[in-house]
Amino acid sequence: MADLLERCRGNAWTKTPCDGCGNETDGRKTLMGTYQVVSPPTDGVSSLSWSPNANLLVATSWDNQVRCWEVSPQGQSAAKVATTHEKPVLCSCWNATGDVVFSGGVDNQVKMWTLATNQTQQVAAHDAAVRHVAFMPEMNLLVTGSWDKTLRYWDLRSPNPVHSQPLPDKVYAMSCTHPLLVVGTADRNILVFNLQNPQQVYKQIASPLKYQTRCVTNFPDKTGFLVGSIEGRVAVHHVEDNMQNKNFTFKCHRNNNDVYAVNSIAFHPVHGTFSTAGADGAFNFWDKDSKQRLKAFQAANAPIPCSSFNKDGSIFAYAVSYDWSKGAENYNPATAQNHILLHGVQDSEIKARTRPNRR
C-alpha cells in the first residue's frame, strides 16, 4: 500500500500544500518534527485513538468512516483498513489486545471492528447518538455514553446491556481508567463512578467551570480528573474530599479578548504531564503538579477537535478540522480543512520540570 505520510525533510515538505498546519503552503512547510497524513478523512475528524500495543492510529469522522493507519517510528504510514457507519461517527476505542476497535456515532450504534478480517458487527445500541465508548479489560465490559441520557455496560456476548445507568442529561464527555469512570453531561453535571460498584453514582458535582463541558480526562493515578470547557479554561479536580485543597483552575486557549473551547485533553503515558488542544487551533503541554505550561505550539488555521498520545508517548496525534463550536451556519464544506498531524514528542517538551522561582 502507498504510504499515507511523508516525512519532513529539514522544514519543507514536498508538493501538496497544507493550509491547516499554520505555516506557509508553498512546498508544504510545517512545524519541525511533524508528519501529516496525506489522505485524511473528507469531513470533520471526531476522534483519534491509538492501539495500546502498536503504532496503529484510528480516526473517526463525520464522513461516516472509521480509518486505520500503521505509523512507523520514522513517520511513514500505510493504510490498513477502513469501515463505514450509516451516519457520522463520533467516538472510538480499542480493546486491550489491540486487534479490535469499537466505534459509535449518530446511527445510535456501536460496532466492533476486527482488523485482521475487516469484519464488523453491532454490539451495542442507544436511543440517540453514542458520544463516547470505552473498553474495560478488568471487567471485560464495554461502557457507552449517549445523548439519550444513559450510560450502558455491555457484555459482548449478549445483545442487551448488563446495566443501564440513567444520567441527568446528554453525555458530552467521558474518561475511564478502572476503577475510575468520570462522565460529563449537559448542564455542567460531573458524575464519578467507582467501577467496583458501577450501578451507583459515587459522587455527583457541578463542574468547577462556569460553562459547558467539552472534555474530561482522568489522572494517571486515578485520584482525580481534568475538565475542559468552552470558556478556555481547565479545572484540576480531585475526587476525595480530603484532597480538595489541591484543586485549581487555569486559563488557556485564549488570545487577548478571544476565548476558545478546550476540545481535548490527554495525559502523557510516561511522564504524567498532559496536553490541551482547542478551537484556536493550538495545542500546549502542561504540568499540573508544578502548575506551569511546558511548551506552547504554533496555532493551525483551523480548530483542533481531538488529540491523543501513542502508547509510549513518542507521537502526539491531533486533527485539524471544524469542531462545530460556531454552529452549522459557520461550516462551509467547500473550504473546510481536514488534516491529521503527528508531532514527534521530545522529552524537553513534555517532561516535568521544576518551576522557576519568581522574584
Cα dist. 119→59, 81, 83 in Å?
A: 17, 10, 8
Q: What is the pLDDT of residue 258?
A: 96
What's the whole-model pTM score?
0.90
Low-confidence ranges of the chain (pLDDT < 70): 1-32, 38, 357-359
pLDDT of residue 350: 98
Distance CA 86, CA 38 (A): 25
Q: Three-class SS of residue 244?
A: helix
- The answer to whether 113 touches 123, Cβ cutoff 8 Å, is no
Q: Give pLDDT, residue 359.
A: 52
**DSSP conformational letter for 349:** H
Q: Which three cell numbers stand for residue 157?
A: 456476548
CA distance 27 to 353: 37
The Cα 46–Cα 132 span in angstroms is 11
Angle at the Cα of 196 from the Cα atoms of 190 and 202, rounded to 5 degrees: 30
pLDDT per residue as tens digits for the range 341-353: 999 999 999 999 9
Contact 248, 237 (CB under 8 A): no
Q: Distances in Å between the alpha carbon of 340 and those of 300, 304, 320, 359? A: 12, 10, 6, 42
Average pLDDT, the chain: 90
* pLDDT value, residue 310: 96
What CA–CA distance (Å, rounded) separates 27 from 51? 32
- pLDDT tens, 141-156? 999 999 999 999 999 9
Q: What pLDDT does residue 283 have?
A: 98
What pLDDT, on the 0 to 100 scale, is given for residue 79?
79
Residues 336-339: contacts with CB under 8 Å, at least 24 apart? 336/43, 336/44, 337/19, 337/20, 337/301, 337/302, 338/20, 338/40, 338/41, 338/42, 338/43, 338/44, 338/45, 338/61, 339/18, 339/20, 339/21, 339/36, 339/37, 339/40, 339/300
* Residue 348 DSSP SS3: helix
